[in-house]
Amino acid sequence: MDKKKLERYKPLKRELLMIDKQISRLEERREALPVVMGKVQSSDYNFPFTERRVSVPMLEPKEADKIDKDIAQKYARKCYVESKMNEVEEFIEDMPEGEVKRIFELYFLEGMTQSQVADIVALDRSRISRKICDYLENAHKAQN
């Protein structure tokens, strides 16, 4: 895990909220679509191999298909964003308990500034930055 991936957590969190709002709006639009009578093919009840055309009520097909496609794309993006967020959360969750883990939680997950974190854990802002860099450096060396 590198610092860039960790710093992407906050924007991903905002994007996730935005995607949820977009999905809600698309679902509302889908519910508001007009119902039209559409023709479908079916088998005759008495003669199963004889095709017949039946009128059925349905949402306006072209617009409904477009909205369904957009919703599917949003859900796919949502899954991707959630997986990237989970990577960061798992990395921090697997850290040993202590001051450094608390710094990572506050800075990366809560989105606080280094100065705010420094006030909470009673250190200088520069020490916060140094602890983050040192831990990531050591974690990178341990992986190799």
Q: What letter represents residue 47's amino acid?
A: F
Q: Tell me the pTM.
A: 0.79
Question: In this predicted structure, what is the pLDDT of residue 144?
Answer: 62
- Model confidence over 70-84: pLDDT tens digits? 999 999 999 999 999
What is the Cα–Cα distance from 61 to 33, expressed in whole angstroms? 9
Beta-carbon count within 10 A of 67 CB: 19
Question: Is residue 122 a contact partner of residue 113, using CB atoms and an 8 Å limit?
Answer: no
Percent of the chain with pLDDT strictly greater than 90: 75
Question: pLDDT of 8-34, one tens digit each?
Answer: 999 999 999 999 999 999 999 999 999
Task: Note the maximum CA span of the chain.
Answer: 84
| Three-state SS at 2 | coil
Sign of CA dihedral 2, 123, 101, 131: positive
